[in-house]
Amino acid sequence: MTSREKILAAVKQNQPESVPMPDIAFLTGEPVEATEKFVTTLTTIGGRVYRVGSYDEIAAIVKQNYTGGQRIITLIPELAEITTEVFAPQPAAHHLQDVELAVLKAHFGVAENGAVWVTEELLGHRALPFITQHLAVVVNAADIVPTMHQAYARNIDLSYGYGAFIAGPSKTADIEQSLVIGAHGSRSMTVFLMG
Amino acid sequence: MHTEGKDHAELADIFNKDEKRVDWHDETLWFIRAKRDKAVHQLPEWEDLRNTASQIKHNVLSNLDKYLVEFEAQAQANGITVHWAADAAEHNRIVHQLIKDEGVTQMVKSKSMLTEECGLNEYLAEHGIEVIDSDLGERIVQLAKEPPSHIVLPCIHKKKGEIGDLFHMYLGTPSGLDDPQQLTEAARIHLRDTFLTRKVALTGVNFAIAETGEFVVCTNEGNADMGAHLANVHIACMGIEKIIPQRKHLSVFLRLLTRSATGQPITTYSSHFKKPREGQQMHLVLVDNGRTVQLGREEFRNSLKCIRCGACMNTCPVYRRSGGHSYHTAVAGPIGSILAPNLDMKKYADLPFASTLCGSCSNVCPVKIDIHDQLYKWRQVLVKEGYAPTVKKVGMQVMTTTLNSPTVYRLAGKMGRIVMKYAPFAVNNGLNPWYKNRDMPEPPKESFGEWYKKNRK
Ligand code: SF4
């Protein structure tokens, strides 16, 4: 018998009688003003939020904060002017190790935890939001949902190979519980809330 | 740390020698427990979430064979290679083989309590494979040559000065440097180099979805992603109980996990791995290692619902004052004390007794495991099987004699009250295991029996 057969046989023999799956539809969270809540939550967990009306505004903010010499990359065509190079997605990500800022699009945001949902095709490379020193994400204000329940109800496109909720900058509190921003992933996270 | 042959009480004694450190450990964990409370109180539907999570897990455990097969088929369709390991040894062999197949002798690993349970690092070291743990806390204990002392906060027992000394020795930071910010920066640079040069990365798994064949890994540091996305081979290892039925159920568990663990609304990164990236191999190892046996123990089955948030440890008065290492098992604290005797009753017979049975663990558990009831049940099983720890055994024999005879019971009670009144030092000393870290209560002037006799007329 293979281990697979052994394990499955043991599971079958030892598992209790089948109980039904509970309905989770009643879990919706409290009604909230989603955008407001998103801004407060993300700010509390160390992110920065700019409410903007256009891509031009985003470009202006980026140019103001990043001057000279640093690698800035984006896959958003409207932001082409801020990119310091043509960014071609390719399997290996090692060439991204000195990226200073990556500006990405997100599908939607979640008010209760300040997270944004991104999938592979928005990233160019899976490693990009982690390997970059700083991360910025553009999301429509209209695309903020209250809780994770609406988030999963909304993200029904299952074609991705990799997707992630990203909530704020990388952090750790492993040394005597002191919060330190910037562990292995991005040192800061900015969300441009559009509209 | 050398724990061989020592039981929880003896190991706790070692930890308790430094009273200031015990107080600090106690307060640090309580601080995290308090953050959990604050986060939880912001969600009026908290109890609904817990109930639902517990029910989903019940559904999982009662249909686990189907979900495992479904998960396997979906994952394979996604291009993930699925392996099955009956025990720790097989798990370690599989991982080792995958590393050998890639022709390398180094690997980077993000946090996985399962690999701790299986002793993977030691096994690979014996076979000439160097493993670097990339979670900061795990890297710190790895440099100190210690196991993690907590499943979420692996180096919660370490002071920043000690970490500074380790980094000075191994990472070349200036001596005396103990600033968390600067130490983290040093680790960031050191590990970035590791991520960029490793061809094989291993991660744990927080949740695996039967419906879609994807698995979810949650970290705050981003280390699992840095490892996996830069490596040619991604190996993910999980216990078979980590399956959940559908993608939408993640909403329930992701809302519960970090609020219970650290009081955060969600981890910084909740990564959903569904398909290997172009040119990459993705392997997933499904591990039993005693889980099917626990599934068959009706009274302890619920322990398989655990999502490893650590809340039960943070709240446990015994854990807080005895330290994670005193449990001499990979998963410490209340839940570890239920899981460990399942693997080896003799070796871990002491653990279910390392609890006050106060119930605080069960109260905070996000999947509503009846933790303290199970600890109590383990005690009965262990005593019946003859595995009770000796100190407790002697005490219990005396107790049995006392409780079996009303005369001896009344006399013993009276003696006890007299002793505590006139010679409290006879009880408040190191020979009485109940005195450790607590003063004995003032004895009542008379027993209830005596009071009742006098007053009933
Ligand atoms: S038993 Fe419950 S509280 Fe303890 S780690 Fe597991 S899920 Fe968390």
Tokens for A120? 């592979």
- Contact (CB<8Å) A153/B245: no
| A160, A127 contact by CB (below 8 A) | no
Measuring CA to CA, which residue among A45, A58, A59, A185 is closest to residue A126? A185
**Cα B412 from Cα B135, distance rounded (Å):** 54
pLDDT value for B444: 73
Expressed in angstroms and rounded, the spacing between residue B303 Cα and the centre of ligand 1 is 8
Residue A8 CA to ligand 1 center (angstroms) comes to: 25
Q: Does B343 touch chain A (CB under 8 A)?
A: no
pLDDT computed for residue A93 by the predictor: 83
Q: Tell me the residue length of chain A.
A: 195
Amino acid (one-letter) located at B254: L
Mutate which of A130, A132, A178 to disrupt the B interface (most B C-beta within 10 Å)?
A130
Phi and psi at B280, nearest 5°, equal: -110, 150
**CA atoms of A47 and A41, how far apart (whole Å):** 9
Phi, psi of B227 (to 5 degrees): -65, -55
Distance CA B128, CA B410 (A): 65
Residues 6 or more apart from A50 whose CB is under 8 A from it? A57, A58, A61, A190, A191, A192, A193
Q: Which of residues 42-101 of A touch B (CB under 8 A)?
A: 45, 91-94, 97
A162 contacts in B (CB within 8 Å)?
271-275, 277
Q: Residue B98 — very low, low, confident or very high, per pLDDT cuts 50/70/90?
A: very high
Q: Which domains does chain B have, with CATH numbers?
A: 1-42+297-388 (1.10.1060), 43-289 (3.40.50.10420), 390-455 (no CATH)
Determine which of B163, B268, B282, B285 to mutate to test the interface with A (most A C-beta atoms within 10 Å): B268
CB B107: neighbour CB atoms within 10 A?
27
B187: chain A residues, CB-CB within 8 Å: 183
Nearest to A138 by CA among A167, A116, A114, A168: A116
Q: Longest Cα pair distance anywhere in chain A, in angstroms? A: 66
| Summary mean pLDDT of chain A | 93
CA distance A124 to chain B (A): 11
Cβ-contact B29, B319 below 8 angstroms? yes
Give A97-127 pLDDT, tens digit per residue.
Answer: 899 999 999 999 999 999 999 999 999 899 9
Check if B185 contacts A (Cβ < 8 Å): yes
Nearest CA to ligand 1 atom 6: B306
Please count the other Cβ atoms lying within 10 Å of the Cβ belonging to residue B345.
15
Distances (CA, A) of B158 to A4, B22, B33, B65, B379: 41, 11, 18, 41, 32
Among residues B303, B242, B272, B269, the alpha carbon closest in space to that of B114 is found at B242
User: DSSP string spanning A150-183?
Assistant: HHHHH------SEEEEE-SS-EE-TTTT--EE-S
CA-based nearest residue in chain B for residue A172: B221
Least confident stretch, A80-89, A94-103, B410-419 = B410-419
Query: B1 falls in which pLDDT band (50, 70, 90)?
Result: very low
Question: A76, A83 in Cβ contact below 8 A?
Answer: no
**Beta-sheet pairing, B269-273 with B215-219:** antiparallel
End-to-end CA distance of chain A: 61
Distance from Cα B333 to the centre of ligand 1, integer Å:
10
**Distance from A86 to chain B by nearest Cα, in Å?**
21
Q: Is the ipTM of this complex over 0.90?
A: yes
Distance of CA A152 to the CA centre of its chain: 14
Q: B379-410 pLDDT, tens per residue?
A: 999 999 888 776 566 655 666 666 667 776 67
**Contact map slice: B 297-316 vs A, CB within 8 A:** 298, 301
Spatial CA neighbour of A139 closest among A70, A189, A68: A189
* Residue B132 φ/ψ, nearest 5 degrees: -115, 120
Distance from CA of A125 to the nearest CA of B (A): 9
| Segment B266-325, tens digit of pLDDT | 999 999 999 999 999 999 999 999 999 999 999 999 999 999 999 999 999 999 999 999
In angstroms, rounded to a whole number, what is the distance separating the alpha carbons of residues A140 and A160? 21
Check the CA dihedral B232-B237-B240-B246 and report its sign.
negative
The pLDDT, as a whole number, for residue B6 is: 85
Cβ within 8 Å, pair A183-B220: yes
Check if the beta carbon of residue A184 is closer than 8 Å to that of residue B191: yes
- The predicted model gives B232-258 an average pLDDT of 98
Least-confidence region, from A151-165, B95-109, B270-284, B365-379: A151-165
Across the interface, whether the CB atoms of B86 and A3 are under 8 A apart is answered: yes
Q: What are the angstrom distances between the C-alpha of B412 and each of A177, B194, B408, B417, B418?
A: 48, 65, 6, 9, 10
Domains, chain A:
29-194 (3.40.50.10420)
Largest Cα–Cα separation, chain B: 89
Residue type, A146: P
Label residue B438 by pLDDT band (50, 70, 90).
low
> Cβ contact (<8 Å) for A175 and B163?
yes
What is the C-alpha to C-alpha distance for residues B189 and A97, in angstroms, rounded to an integer?
Answer: 12
Task: Determine the residue type at B455.
Answer: N
A111 vs A113: CA distance, rounded Å: 6
- A11, B56: Cβ pair inside 8 Å? no
Cβ pair A112:B153 closer than 8 A? no
Q: Is the pLDDT of residue B440 over 80?
A: no
Q: Please determine, for residue A66, whether its predicted confidence score (pLDDT) is greater than 80.
A: yes
Q: Is B375 on the interface with A (CB under 8 A)?
A: no
Q: Closest CB to B295: pick one of A11, A113, A164.
A: A11
CA distance B147 to B328: 9
Residue B425 pLDDT class (50, 70, 90 cuts): low
CB contact under 8 A, B226 and A17: no
Per-residue pLDDT at A142: 96
In chain A, residues with a C-beta closer than 8 Å to the C-beta of B278 are 91
pLDDT greater than 60 at residue B429: no
Tell me if the pTM is above 0.80: yes
Closest CA to B352 of B329, B328, B377, B369: B377
Distance set, CA B47 to CA A134, B43, B442 (Å): 38, 9, 38
Pick from B113, B371, B373, B374 the residue to mutate for probing ligand 1's pocket: most ligand atoms within 8 Å of its CB. B371
A24 vs B252: CB contact, 8 Å cut-off?
Answer: yes
Choose the closest CB to B269 out of A4, A151, A185: A185
B154 touches chain A (CB under 8 A): yes
Put simply, whether B244 touches A (Cβ < 8 Å) is no
Question: What DSSP line would sit under A51-113, residue for residue?
Answer: EESSHHHHHHHHHHH--SS-EEEE--GGGGGG-SS-----S--GGGTTEEEEEEE-SEEETTT
pLDDT of residue B451: 75
The amino acid at residue B428 is N
> How many Cβ atoms are within 10 Å of B35's Cβ, its own excluded?
17
If you measure CA to CA, which chain A residue comes closest to B265? Answer: A113
Residue B18, pLDDT score: 85
Confidence band of A157 (pLDDT split at 50, 70, 90): confident
Quote the pLDDT of residue A11. 98
Distance B309 CA to ligand 1 centre (A): 5
Residue A30 — very low, low, confident or very high, per pLDDT cuts 50/70/90?
confident
* Band of pLDDT at residue A22, cut at 50, 70 and 90: very high
- Residues whose beta carbon lies within 6 Å of some atom of ligand 1: B 260, 306-312, 335, 364-367, 369, 371
- Output the pLDDT for position B17: 85
Measure the CA–CA gap between B280 and A160, rounded to whole angstroms.
15
* The pLDDT of residue B172 is above 50: yes
Range B401-423 average pLDDT = 67
Task: Pull the structure tokens for residue A14.
Answer: 């030892």
Q: Phi/psi of residue A31, each to 5°?
A: -65, 130
